[in-house]
Structure 1
């Protein structure tokens, strides 16, 4: 035994000293003992001199050096805030239990004690990180896929290290998941009274399944209720627990047909009546003080607005819609362009009474589907034929490309916003996929209601962090400290306490419109969206060209700039960079679309709001799906993705009625609903606009024939699309100059 260890040590010294490759021979993945021995040997042979403490710990653990691993790890865990170390705590309990002869018993014992000593919020966050977003299957598949793909009999140091780290994650989580699942769930039962078996009849005879959660040990008095109305059955319990921990009764009402209720699941169809009836049911319960609030994000934001479609229930005192989608406005289509990401979502939420994670996470299926559709050039309405499974809801969407009666029945429409007179806090983010929906509700409410008590909070958040709390960085951009709000656990319940319990209004809400100015570490507060700006920078297209960039000029001109797109070409795509990920990068694709660049800014300025576009062009087709991406070209030469717009020209003037273009006749299309942003632009910065025609595998292809876009196919692409922009085309930036304040 000693000779074997010595030999391994000498081999390690020899190989790591000279950076040689490590010998490797595959074994069966099903042979866990052989895999364990092989990974232990690799961990011993890898050069670990320059690893971080966390990575060094992983190698020590896989090698079986548990005492050393514990010493290495304690420093890291002591430096990590308790609300950010859910994974790290699993590692800690794992390595401590591995030192015992009874691993499972020791892990359960120590983890039970840890959970019992944690406060309510800690345990809720453990559930979110480890159960709701359970990473185990991903880690198992990631290691297995990586291992299976190796064909060489020698591994580089880099490949070997990557494999060991992936094995670490597979090993730790697969051997502890059932244990910590059980302990967390048992702890919930210790803290909360959970009634998850109630079914409420609707007036039309349908059923809605309800979960009611109350904190044990609290004084038994009537309390306000906080309602989450959701299609995501089984995934909102932590939100209701949070409400219970904050002194409210947490209630979840799932879309009819979900959880324990009978009937067919039809997203968006019935919330406009069912949620109102649920509020009525809550107001009549023995534990209710007849005050109800609502919160939630995405679909759960939509349900709040849907509840007020016909009238506001007297018991509903406030709503907090976060990143709320607006059906027909930003989901499943944006500016009348149907995106295919909603295709798989339909199966995710309708395949069973809860959620079909297997279908949702079958990325190979969805990628193959969209790539096959794009390559073959078949019509968009053949997607489910290619998939081999009927997608009824998807076909319904395609039958309603305009904002017609099908969509209008789901949420308040025009004058129906007038009657909404309760306090509202809308929360969204500059990089929220549903910002268009959130802002639609905000704008329509202010358009039709008289002096609405409606606040907006928006910052550098995405669809997830605007519902919860931001990390220190978003898509490689480091956020200002002032942006790091704890939205769900802090601001949300400060607002509820303000409205329902008469406490102070949250200090961040100093005016109706509250937004974080990126790169200034400050917030601005204005009485309206229009008050966000005190000037406008307008740039006109010009055919003057330097290298790959056309010029943006301050005045209109006689320029003509051509763009040709061949829809028959399926070897390339257009407009692949419109989605902002990462936010800042050194280069952009200079071959994708028309690139325009301004002269350097002569002074610092803040872009505040949604940039506007007024495009004048002639085109040889009856329609076109186009996009405009706006970048901030920093003085250092990096491209920062500020905002973008994507839309269908035939709906530019009216989302409810398609108005086809006249080929080869000058036309104008305008937009003012690009993604809202607030960011400081330094002196010397330039604006870069990328103008493009949408042609990729992520959305419909509008061939421009004027027919139903869902029916068009590659046979309609014989003549390439040609569009000629004039020098009257412009983009305008709403800005704020502090000197004009």
Structure 2
């Protein structure tokens, strides 16, 4: 057995170190590059690493293979492989269409060779034929699907090539990356601008698209895009979207509404497109959207009824709009709505490094800075540089090379204070929101906490709220119309594979056109139970589960069960040295092939479950701790270890201890005193856990480049530096601490 393991390790290392011939002249000579890339791709296609994926991960295999086939100029087989990939990736008219640019290119190359015609003519012929086969819903997405950034793809390809300077060989990983970047540049440099013009020409046949500037009562300028189907000549309800991501998505959002037989109106926020006003994200939406709603409701193509839709920032915008509700606004459909001040730019009062990357994305120019935003290497480097430096979180923008006043202003409000409260409805404001609302979010949605916060608060202050919720195994994109059949690398139940677009517009038909209520909405909360292929429908969150079990911070090997309250009081001591910035990651092996990262965490594992159970709802609970400082940030993970040993992340929770009881008022901890930290605003999930599984709970301290670092002095965390670290943080986790897990039983 030891010999087999040794041989396997040697083979793996040989594969990792394997080199392929790739002449250094290919870096500087485009003719040599064009000759060598198909040869390189052909070699890669025959490698065991690629072929092995066909058995172990079919979706990853197809994803790699269709790209390599295209680089190798095997266009016929690439189309078949791409079709297989898309059928797994998305099985309805949603996300699979994002790969249509690859299909256009391959089909055009086949026609170019077969009919001996110029590529330009072949592409036009291919486009026209393919266009006729597409549904109206897919046609709306064509513009964004083919709108690749040629300059950025060239930059990425050149960066990959530069790594091969003065080398005559290339390793496996670098070769795959080069093939991918080469292909992207090849496609978009060949297709644009011709295919963009072809899409625009087809749009002109089908739609009336107008872009104009409007003035608000405060004399601010906003750019708005209006889209109507030519065949719809009578006034219709208007579906309004407020879009800070100005660019190719503006006509898409408008066309999406138009093909469902509405007028689509997409307004850009202050400072975008033709607006020379100052761009301060989130701050003016409530005021501006009242005026925009008033304007669109009075246009000749409007019947006076307005609905709103959109996800993320666009979802937040709808809650901003109902803070001062215009009479013409009849319904909103907020999807994965940012909970401003609640889950972004700080989640449970802990600011995230990502906020600076996002601010630059939407404020660097009048549209969006895609190249900068998608330069993950750059932003990882900036965040790591800050982390290694030990400087204050306030220094992050300076370290990035571009001081940012918006970033600094947000940091001035670490609690959920009036600055955040004035942007959206707050407490009693929700009592006045009496229009019908449909919220969508997902178990893997980055803004789930925000989306649910609006839903919960609305029902808390308005007992008759006509507000429905739909949740399933969707990520941030999937719950705002781009649905996938695989999420986080795992297939979702067939029952969950719904079109969020169809759901949203059937809701608009119900409210704005006296249509039928969507069949899925059988109660106020409608959620898909993962691993059961079924949906459930309940009136409130308490009905999502029938009981709870408490997972105590104790070792089941030394107790009857982690689910029984400990008879003897004890604690586990954890030490975290904030001065150590070269800490190696620590992993806990949960099976022969799988591990869980436990850096800065304490690991607790349950006994093997002797029956199936359904976890359904938000884990809650309370930590009893004593620390030697005034504050710290907790970091909690709940895993299922499946019967096959594979870990499955169920829920997470992160919070600043001093804000855990009240997110608006900081209450510092007393060093050495046993304190209680409530667990609220955790990630909600609904999933069947199979018999033979175990549950794993990780509790620990947030310390990584993606978030602020709380050194525990009690000062504003944004101003603390590594000099404030002093002695290491010591935490006593008492064994009567628990995470309360919601359980549903038939």
Tell me the TM-score normalised to structure 1 length: 0.89
How far apart in 1 are the matches of 2:246 and 2:19? Answer: 50
1:405 is matched with which residue?
A: 418
Cα 1:515/1:390, change in 2 over 3 Å: same
1:587 is matched with which residue?
A: 595
Residue 358 of structure 2: which of 333, 345, 351 is its match?
Answer: 345
Residues 300-320 of structure 1: CA deviation (Å, up to 9, x unaligned):
00111111113x211111100
Matched, 1:729 2:737: yes
Give SS of 2:322's match: coil
1:205 is matched with which residue?
A: 219
Matched, 1:185 2:200: yes
Give the CA deviation at 1:636. Answer: 1.8
Give the CA deviation at 1:565. Answer: 0.4
Give the CA deviation at 1:416. Answer: 0.3
Residues 54-96 of structure 1: CA deviation (Å, up to 9, x unaligned):
97776676566x7xx4377468659966943513243222332
Structure 1: gaps (5+ residues): 1-18, 578-584
How far apart in 1 are the matches of 2:584 and 2:719? Answer: 20
CA contact (8 A) 1:541 1:551 kept: no
1:598 is matched with which residue?
A: 606
Residues 310-333 of structure 1: CA deviation (Å, up to 9, x unaligned):
3x2111111000000021111100
Residue 650 of structure 1: which of 621, 634, 658 is its match?
Answer: 658
CA contact (8 A) 2:626 2:675 kept: yes
Matched, 1:70 2:80: no
CA contact (8 A) 2:152 2:371 kept: no
Matched, 1:126 2:134: no
2:515 is matched with which residue?
A: 503
Matched, 1:689 2:671: no
How far apart in 1 are the matches of 2:64 and 2:712? Answer: 54
How far apart in 2 are the matches of 1:73 and 1:433? Answer: 33
Residue 240 of structure 1: which of 254, 257, 269 is its match?
Answer: 254
Residues 342-400 of structure 1: CA deviation (Å, up to 9, x unaligned):
11111111122211223323333322221111111011111122222220100001111
CA contact (8 A) 2:622 2:676 kept: yes
Cα 1:535/1:180, change in 2 over 3 Å: same
1:515 is matched with which residue?
A: 527
Give the CA deviation at 1:174. Answer: 2.5
CA contact (8 A) 1:213 1:251 kept: yes
Give SS of 2:717's match: coil
How far apart in 2 are the matches of 1:339 and 1:679? Answer: 28
Residue 504 of structure 2: which of 474, 492, 495 is its match?
Answer: 492
1:111 is matched with which residue?
A: 127
Cα 1:263/1:575, change in 2 over 3 Å: farther
Cα 1:545/1:417, change in 2 over 3 Å: same
Residues 383-431 of structure 1: CA deviation (Å, up to 9, x unaligned):
1222222201000011110111111110000000001001100000001
Residues 438-497 of structure 1: CA deviation (Å, up to 9, x unaligned):
011000000001211100000001111110132111111110000111102x11111111
How far apart in 2 are the matches of 1:593 and 1:251? Answer: 48
CA contact (8 A) 1:542 1:550 kept: no
- Alignment map for 1:44-193 (pairs within 5 Å): 48=46, 62=71, 69-70=75-76, 73=79, 77=83, 83=93, 84=96, 86=100, 87-99=102-114, 100-115=116-131, 118-131=134-147, 134=148, 140-150=154-164, 152-154=167-169, 163-164=178-179, 167-193=182-208
Residue 706 of structure 2: which of 689, 694, 698 is its match?
Answer: 698
CA contact (8 A) 2:225 2:250 kept: no
Give the CA deviation at 1:20. Answer: 9.8
How many corresponding residue pairs?
Answer: 703
Matched, 1:560 2:571: yes
Cα 1:421/1:412, change in 2 over 3 Å: same
Give the CA deviation at 1:732. Answer: 0.6
Cα 1:502/1:154, change in 2 over 3 Å: same
Give the CA deviation at 1:155. Answer: 5.1
2:480 is matched with which residue?
A: 467
How far apart in 1 are the matches of 2:268 and 2:541? Answer: 34
Give the CA deviation at 1:164. Answer: 4.8
Give the CA deviation at 1:106. Answer: 2.4
How far apart in 2 are the matches of 1:157 and 1:335? Answer: 42
Give the CA deviation at 1:517. Answer: 0.3
How far apart in 2 are the matches of 1:575 and 1:228? Answer: 45
1:261 is matched with which residue?
A: 275
How far apart in 2 are the matches of 1:228 and 1:477? Answer: 32
Residues 83-127 of structure 1: CA deviation (Å, up to 9, x unaligned):
435132432223322443412232223324433553322222222
- Alignment map for 1:563-578 (pairs within 5 Å): 563-572=574-583
How far apart in 1 are the matches of 2:583 and 2:694? Answer: 29
CA contact (8 A) 2:66 2:82 kept: no
Cα 1:425/1:56, change in 2 over 3 Å: closer
CA contact (8 A) 2:241 2:266 kept: yes
1:3 is matched with which residue?
A: none
1:38 is matched with which residue?
A: 36
Cα 1:576/1:426, change in 2 over 3 Å: farther
Give SS of 1:326's match: coil
CA contact (8 A) 2:609 2:691 kept: yes
Structure 2: gaps (5+ residues): 1-16, 52-60
2:375 is matched with which residue?
A: 362
Give the CA deviation at 1:292. Answer: 0.5
Residues 498-533 of structure 1: CA deviation (Å, up to 9, x unaligned):
111111111111111000000000011111111111
1:24 is matched with which residue?
A: 22
How far apart in 2 are the matches of 1:528 and 1:451? Answer: 12
Give the CA deviation at 1:222. Answer: 1.1
1:527 is matched with which residue?
A: 539
Give SS of 1:145's match: helix
Residue 298 of structure 2: which of 263, 266, 284 is its match?
Answer: 284
How far apart in 2 are the matches of 1:575 and 1:410? Answer: 41
